[in-house]
């Protein structure tokens, strides 16, 4: 069984711009920096990495990385105050999370989410239905 995701590595054409964006979001830099070809940030128990790619290297939509953030609304406000335009406003989803989406300067989709009270209730409630004995 897979235990967890250790790291996600995203490509960038402009390390300086990417590092500034992720530091503005609140990621803690562990290695590399604006002039490096590889930079690593702490993301809870895992890591978010950036790797420089030549300008001729192109990528297309690949999916979305979802990060837990305890104050989704404050992070959204910080992005807007810094001049970024998130893709969505924070909202409560039917699956029990408050979230919003933003696209980083290199086109990578990110989501920041936190369980709502209803979502936390779903994860701690015992399963319903008849008990099964082995």
Q: What does the pLDDT look like over 76-120, one tens digit per residue?
A: 999 999 999 999 999 999 989 999 999 999 999 999 999 998 666
In the chain, which residues fall in CATH 3.10.180.10?
1-53
Query: Does residue 123 have a pLDDT over 60?
Result: no
pTM comes to 0.78
pLDDT of residue 25: 96
pLDDT interval class at 129 (50, 70, 90): very low
Quick: pLDDT tens for 35-66: 999 999 999 999 999 999 998 998 887 889 99
67/101 Cα distance (integer angstroms): 10
pLDDT of residue 124: 42
CATH class entry, domain 62-125: alpha beta
pLDDT of residue 2: 63
Q: Which residue has the higher pLDDT, 25 or 134?
A: 25
In the chain, which residues fall in CATH 3.30.720.110?
62-125
pLDDT of residue 3: 75
- CATH number, domain 1-53: 3.10.180.10
- Burial call 95-126: b when 16+ CB within 10 Å, e when fewer: ebbbbbbbebebebebbbbbbbeebeeeeeee
pLDDT of residue 60: 84
Residues 6+ apart with CB under 8 A from 22: 29, 41, 48, 50, 104
């Amino acid at each position: 069984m897979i235990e967890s995701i250790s790291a996600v590595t995203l490509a960038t054409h402009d390390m300086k711009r990417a590092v500034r964006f992720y530091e503005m979001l609140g990621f803690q830099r562990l290695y590399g920096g604006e002039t490096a070809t590889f930079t690593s940030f702490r993301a809870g128990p895992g890591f978010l990495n950036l790797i420089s790619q030549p300008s001729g290297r192109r990528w297309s939509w690949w999916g979305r990385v979802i990060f837990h953030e305890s104050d989704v609304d404050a992070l959204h406000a910080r992005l807007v105050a810094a001049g970024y335009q998130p893709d969505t406003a924070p909202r409560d989803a039917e699956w029990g999370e408050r979230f919003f989406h933003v696209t980083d300067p290199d086109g990578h989709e990110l989501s920041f989410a936190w369980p709502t009270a209803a979502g936390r209730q779903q994860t701690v409630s015992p399963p319903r239905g008849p008990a099964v004995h082995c």
